[in-house]
Amino acid sequence: MTRRELIACEECDLLQLAAPLEPGSSLRCRRCHAELRRGRTNGPEYALAFTLASAMLLVISNVFPIVGLSINGNHVQTTLAGSVRMLYTHGTWPLAVLVFLTTILMPVLQTVSMLWLLVPLKLGRVPWHAVEGFRLFQLARPWGMTEVLILGLLVALVKLAHIAKVVPGTALWSFIVLMLLLAAASAAFDPREIWSRICAMKNAGGVWRSPPLKPRRMAVTASDYGLVLCEECGLLVRDPARDPARLGVHGCPRCKAHLHMRKPASLSRTWAYLSAAMVLYIPANVLPVMNTSSLFGAQKDTIMSGVVYLWVSGSWPLAVLVFIASIVVPMLKILGLAYLAVSTQLRSQWLPVQRTRIYRAIELVGRWSMLDIYVITMLVALVQFQALATIEAGPASIAFGAVVVLTLLAAMAFDPRLIWDAAERDHVRAQ
Question: Where do the domains of the chain lie, and which CATH numbers do they carry?
Answer: 263-414 (1.20.140)
pTM, full prediction: 0.87
337-339-343 Cα angle (round to 5): 120
Average pLDDT over residues 81-88: 88
Looking at the predicted structure, is the pLDDT value of residue 200 above 80? no
- Residue predicted with more confidence, 334 or 257: 334
Average pLDDT over residues 156-180: 84
- Residues 6 or more apart in contact with residue 139 via CB below 8 angstroms: 109
Looking at the predicted structure, is the pLDDT value of residue 2 above 70? no
Q: Lowest-confidence range among 22-36, 166-180, 285-299, 339-353?
A: 285-299
Q: Lowest-confidence range among 122-136, 207-221, 371-385?
A: 207-221
Q: What is the mean pLDDT of the chain?
A: 82
Q: Lowest-confidence range among 10-24, 233-247, 290-304, 373-387?
A: 233-247
- Of all residues in the chain, the percent with pLDDT exceeding 90 is 26
Residue 209 confidence (pLDDT) = 57
Residue 3 confidence (pLDDT) = 57
**With bands split at pLDDT 50, 70 and 90, how would you rate the model's confidence at 340?**
very high
Residue 310 confidence (pLDDT) = 77
Cβ proximity of 376 and 152 under 8 Å: no
Q: Lowest-confidence range among 256-270, 282-296, 344-358, 361-375?
A: 282-296
Beta-bridge partners for 15: 8
Residue 429 confidence (pLDDT) = 44
